[in-house]
Amino acid sequence: MNQPLSIPDLGANAVDVDIRNVDLSYGANHVLKGINLHIRPGEFFAFLGPSGCGKTTLLRLIAGFNQADGGEVLVGGRDVSQLPPWKRDVGMVFQSYALWPHMTVKRNVAFGLEERKVPRAEIDRRVAAALELVGLAHLADRRPSQLSGGQQQRVAVARTIAIEPKVLLLDEPLSNLDAKMRVQVRRELRDLQQRLGLTTIFVTHDQEEANTICDRIAVMNDGIVQQVGTPMELYEKPANLFVANFLGTANILPGRVVREGGERFFDIDGGVRLPIPANVVVPEGAKLVFRPQHASLGRDGAGDVLLPGTVVHSEFLGSTLRYGVRIGAAEVSIDTPFHSGESLRQPGSPVEIGLSLRSALWLAA
Amino acid sequence: MAGATTAGRAHAPSASSRHFLKLSATPGQVALALGIAVFLVLFLVIPVGTVIYVAFTEKGTGEFTLVNFLDFARTDLFIRSFWNSVYVSAMSVVLASVFALPLAYITTRFEFRGAMLIQTLGFLPLIMPPFVGAVAMLLLFGRNGTVNLLLDEWFGIKIPFMEGLNGVIFVQAVHYFPFILINLSAALRNIDRAMEEAAQNLGSSGFRLFRRIVFPLAMPGYIAGASLVFVKVFDDLATPLLLNVKDMLAPQAYLRVTSIGIADPMGYVISVVLICMSILAMWISARAMRGKDYATVQRGGGGLAKRRMRPWESVLAYATVLLILLLVLAPHIGLLLLSFATIWSFSPLPDAYTLAHYGRVFGESFVYVKNTLVYASIAGLIDVVLGTAIAYLVLRTKLIGREWLDWAATAALAIPGVVLGIGYLRTFYGVQLPDGTPLAALWIMIVLALAIRRLPYALRACYAALQQISVSLEEAAENLGATKVRTVRRVVLPLMAGGILAGFVTSFATAAVELSATLMLVQSNADAPLAYGLYVFMQSPAGRGPGAALGVIAVLLVALCTFASHLIIEKSQKAKAAGH
């Protein structure tokens, strides 16, 4: 115990994870449909999507708990598809933590090393180092049931990194914590991952979690990867309506494209017509999408187009005012900064929405 | 059973919803509590107290003494009986575990066709008194039974399955192994799948995974079942008696009282020893369970992952399961054969078949069936009424001392049937009706003894049922103008119906085949229940045919009632689920 505790230097050997054409069905239920993903060495990567999208199934497939019908998973260039879970060296932190109640914290953390027949002295050293890393060295002899939710979560992390896995898998690790703990723990996780430099995959349905701690995100829906990118790319340049909707609030105006005299226009359902800028590509069946803060009440910038509408409801949110405005057949949300002394416009009052077409998008489903 | 261990975790009604209630209870509730208390004191506390009192007092003078216990310790027969009982109980646990472990493991861990069937068949031994099976087992496994005759013919060997204590162990293990199967299966099913997956993820697999994770997590369930088996075997007197094993403790208590008389103190001393052993086993079980509430299933959990078996694993598993099932169903099969057999002796199978035994049973012995139906129904009824009332008083009122009712009723678990029987005899024999009949000779005493014996199980069922009902449902009824009594009648009882019925069936089914207390209390054949009639029949070789026929009827009767109630409960649960 007197020798300095070393943090395992996993970053130097960080490996990539390559998922190729992975397909999985449960009976008639096609859960994963031809998934292709490349996770870079040392990257903090998220699988983000609503429940039932296949994200947890994909994670469990990497860990070996699900068997793919087709395709392969490569960890550090080695195909692990045919290996059982206990030979994969991918550490997983379970949503429920899965700490064994009949063992102390120390025994829990030592488990994986014992299974690997590591010498006793080294087990003690590595267990101490792992617990030190998560700041729980003083609770080594407690039972899991004597720990708080946040502490249990950290034990689960320590237990997993003690075996120095090639890849760290986190299955909704924050979902069993209260809101305040969640913010703290996600920073700790990010910090830990940065220090270890360990390739990490994080499954969540919470876009804020994914945005705040991940380098890149794969947005999933219906067993398909919808888009891969950094949080900002996904927010600013969503590839389709699902991604736009899932990350942040999006206003969606249905309509159709019409051509008149060599120019293109977008007829919003309900009668309003907008010009489509010349360089914009509009996919088949697209809808007009914009964020609440990209529109204003009245003209805000020179390039804005004006859409007539009616206030349906209004909310005071502190720094901003949020209006629900009916445009044609659709209803959109508009956020405007709150200026001191300003009063809310009442439902029923007619307004004009100023929309910057440069920040608006035409997206198909 | 399993319920008894989990129901202890009471959901105390949340303070916020209860604090406005008056601390004292209504006069009706007080009267109800007093009534229950009087019943428990009269028919449980006083008889058992009398037994303990007699054990510690000098015969004739009534002075306190330990001489009786010294006599017990100095008598070779008793000491030998004691160790025989310990040995037989312990070995029965071991053998029952050998039957239960593979069944529990295979059905909960693998995708196994017929898992449900096995879990259901596993219950079958419980609905037949062990001593009934004992006779069938003699014919199948005895020195000149089917198996040994065949072994002798093929290999020239005989295996002493049924010789002396072996026979008791074998019969008891076959009969009581479902207690271990049920508890262990439940424990295995309650382990969160992630517990196992986490171990695999960290590099563990196969037998090491089982030994280090699965088995420790299932241990409390196993201990609960094992200690129950131990107590049941230790207290059983009919099986050893029927197999002609007399040097065990429970048979000794019975023999002393019936042969030497109810004034002889040794029967009482043995009773106290029996009670102590029961309490000891329960204490061990409670200790094993304490702080180890390993029911770890969380949302998204759902028990251990079931794996598909490889072909050779399948073959092995089916062979194992088939062998065990054949073994544990042997008493039933043997009984059925015996009930149709003309003569079955020194031959692997009966010589010829006949319906005469059934004819005889339906003719002259139908009174046993009738008595059993009457006794078991009344006992079951008493149990659910008391159980519901106690559960209500404990969970829904602030009556001072209400827990005492619960404890007293549950304490009956620790009282072996033979002890209760002796207590009733001693206590109520001196009390006489105006016409001179002693109170202890009335058939209603048998019913009361059965009711007291089965009360703990019915109570736990009612308790669990009431716990599941949100207090706010009752508060809503009261808020809309219903009085306490009407709320109970219109809201609480209908919602508890399933649990009450389950309690009734448990009481009914087990009371119908109970013998240990009854054996002491039956005064005439006209008042005897089925189990007693079976016992009388089975004692003579000539009576075995009709006895077996009666046994088959008893098994069918209990099975039918259990199955019917199962259907009713399932139906009511479906109706409830649909209402949500």
More confident residue, B389 or B118: B389
DSSP B42: I
**Rounded to 5°, angle at Cα B193 from B192 and B197:** 125
8 Å CB contact between A226 and A36 = no
8 Å CB contact between A327 and A253 = yes
Residue B493 has pLDDT above 50, yes or no: yes
Position A5 scores a pLDDT of 45
Position B449 scores a pLDDT of 92
Residue A2 has pLDDT above 70, yes or no: no
User: pLDDT for A164-181, tens place per residue?
Assistant: 899 999 999 888 888 888
Q: Specify the residue for token string 């305040």.
A: A180
Of the residues B191, B200, B202, the best mutation for testing chain A's interface (the one with the most A CB atoms within 10 Å of its CB) is B202
Position A49 scores a pLDDT of 94
More confident residue, A73 or B320: A73
Asked if residue B334 belongs to a domain, the reply is: no
Burial of A269 (0-12, 13-18, 19+ CB in 10 A): middle
The CATH number of the domain where B558 resides is what? Answer: 1.10.3720.10
pTM as predicted: 0.76
Average of per-residue pLDDT across B161-170: 86
**Cα B469 from Cα B17, distance rounded (Å):** 14
More confident residue, A138 or A145: A138
- Which domains are seen in chain A, by residue range? 11-236 (3.40.50.300), 251-363 (2.40.50.140)
- What residues make up the domain containing B417? 28-45+357-580
Position B297 scores a pLDDT of 43
Contact assignment for B217 to A95 by CB distance below 8 Å = no
8 Å CB contact between A231 and A211 = yes
Residues of A in contact with B304 (CB under 8 A): none
Whether B57 has its CB under 8 Å from any CB of chain A: the answer is no
Average of per-residue pLDDT across B393-409: 85
B302 torsion bin: left (phi>0), alpha (psi -120 to 50), beta (else): left
Position A103 scores a pLDDT of 87
In angstroms, what separates the C-alpha of B101 from chain A's closest C-alpha?
Answer: 21
Average of per-residue pLDDT across B403-414: 86
More confident residue, B429 or B247: B247
Average pLDDT value for chain B: 81
User: Which residue in B204, B216, B219 is closest to A86 by CB distance?
Assistant: B204
**Rounded to 5°, angle at Cα B535 from B533 and B536:** 65
Lowest model confidence (mean pLDDT) among A37-51, A139-153, B418-432: B418-432
Average of per-residue pLDDT across A340-349: 86
Whether A95 has its CB under 8 Å from any CB of chain B: the answer is yes
Asked if residue B113 belongs to a domain, the reply is: no
Burial of B80 (0-12, 13-18, 19+ CB in 10 A): middle
Average of per-residue pLDDT across B86-107: 90
SS3 of B185-244: the string is HHHHHCCCHHHHHHHHHCCCCHHHHHHHHHHHHHHHHHHHHHHHHHHHHHHCCHHHHHCC
User: pLDDT for A220-270, tens place per residue?
Assistant: 999 999 999 999 999 989 999 999 999 888 899 888 888 888 888 888 887
Whether B298 has its CB under 8 Å from any CB of chain A: the answer is yes
Average of per-residue pLDDT across A285-305: 81
DSSP string, B331-400: HHHHHHHHHHBS--SSSSS-S-B-SHHHHHHHHHSHHHHHHHHHHHHHHHHHHHHHHHHHHHHHHH---T
Asked if residue B96 belongs to a domain, the reply is: no
Residue A300 has pLDDT above 50, yes or no: yes
Under the banding of pLDDT at 50, 70 and 90, the label for residue A11 is: low
Position A301 scores a pLDDT of 67
8 Å CB contact between B325 and B121 = yes
Residue B24 has pLDDT above 80, yes or no: no
Token readout for A72 is 């392969």
Residues of A in contact with B208 (CB under 8 A): 115
In angstroms, what separates the C-alpha of B441 from chain A's closest C-alpha?
Answer: 53
More confident residue, B299 or B346: B346
Position B69 scores a pLDDT of 85
Average of per-residue pLDDT across B473-492: 80
8 Å CB contact between B165 and B89 = no
B541 torsion bin: left (phi>0), alpha (psi -120 to 50), beta (else): alpha
User: pLDDT for B34-50, tens place per residue?
Assistant: 999 999 999 999 999 98
A to B CB pairs, distance under 8 Å: 79
From B202, which residue of chain A is nearest by alpha-carbon distance? A112
Position A303 scores a pLDDT of 66
Rg (alpha carbons) of chain B, rounded to whole number: 25
Residue B566 has pLDDT above 90, yes or no: no
| Closest listed residue to residue A106, CA positions, set A127, A120, A135 | A127
Give the up-direction half-sphere exposure of residue B50: CA atoms within 13 A in the CB hemisphere. Answer: 20
User: pLDDT for B126-161, tens place per residue?
Assistant: 777 788 888 888 888 887 777 777 888 788 777 777
| ipTM higher than the 0.90 cut | no
User: Which residue in B204, B301, B305 is closest to A96 by CB distance?
Assistant: B301
More confident residue, A310 or B108: A310
From A65, which residue of chain B is nearest by alpha-carbon distance? B197
| Closest listed residue to residue B538, CA positions, set B234, B257, B137, B149 | B137
Residues 6+ apart with CB under 8 A from A304: A296, A354, A355, A356, A357
From B305, which residue of chain A is nearest by alpha-carbon distance? A65
In angstroms, what separates the C-alpha of A115 from chain B's closest C-alpha?
Answer: 6
Residues of A in contact with B216 (CB under 8 A): 100, 102
Of the residues A75, A87, A100, A166, the best mutation for testing chain B's interface (the one with the most B CB atoms within 10 Å of its CB) is A100
Position B305 scores a pLDDT of 59
User: pLDDT for A23-49, tens place per residue?
Assistant: 999 888 899 999 999 999 999 999 999
Q: In angstroms, what CA-CA distances link A145 with A102, B33, B566?
A: 10, 38, 37
Average pLDDT value for chain A: 88
Under the banding of pLDDT at 50, 70 and 90, the label for residue B425 is: confident
User: pLDDT for B505-530, tens place per residue?
Assistant: 878 888 888 888 888 888 887 888 88
Residues of B in contact with A85 (CB under 8 A): 197, 200-201, 205
User: Which residue in B192, B205, B292 is closest to A96 by CB distance?
Assistant: B192
Position B144 scores a pLDDT of 76
**Cα B217 from Cα B294, distance rounded (Å):** 6
Position B304 scores a pLDDT of 53
Asked if residue B404 belongs to a domain, the reply is: yes
Rg (alpha carbons) of chain A, rounded to whole number: 25
Residue A85 has pLDDT above 50, yes or no: yes
Contact assignment for B197 to A92 by CB distance below 8 Å = yes
Position B496 scores a pLDDT of 83
DSSP B248: S
Q: Between the CA atoms of A312, A317, A319 and A321, what dihedral angle is there, to the nearest 10 degrees?
A: 0
Residues of B in contact with A64 (CB under 8 A): 200
Position B20 scores a pLDDT of 42
Asked if residue B4 belongs to a domain, the reply is: no
**Cα B405 from Cα B39, distance rounded (Å):** 10
Strand-pair partners of B110: B307
Under the banding of pLDDT at 50, 70 and 90, the label for residue B6 is: very low
Asked if residue B561 belongs to a domain, the reply is: yes
Residue B364 has pLDDT above 50, yes or no: yes
Asked if residue B552 belongs to a domain, the reply is: yes
**Cα A209 from Cα B374, distance rounded (Å):** 66
Asked if residue B285 belongs to a domain, the reply is: no
User: pLDDT for B204-250, tens place per residue?
Assistant: 888 888 889 888 888 888 888 898 899 889 988 888 988 888 889 88
Residue B289 has pLDDT above 80, yes or no: no
Whether B199 has its CB under 8 Å from any CB of chain A: the answer is yes
Burial of B286 (0-12, 13-18, 19+ CB in 10 A): middle
From B306, which residue of chain A is nearest by alpha-carbon distance? A65
User: pLDDT for A94-126, tens place per residue?
Assistant: 888 888 888 899 999 999 999 888 999 999 999
Q: Specify the residue for token string 């078996």.
A: B309
Q: In angstroms, what CA-CA distances link A190 with A42, A69, A169, A187, A350?
A: 12, 33, 13, 5, 47
- Please give the tally of structural domains in chain B: 1
Average of per-residue pLDDT across B348-356: 76
Q: B426 phi and psi, to 5 degrees?
A: -65, -45
Contact assignment for B301 to A92 by CB distance below 8 Å = no
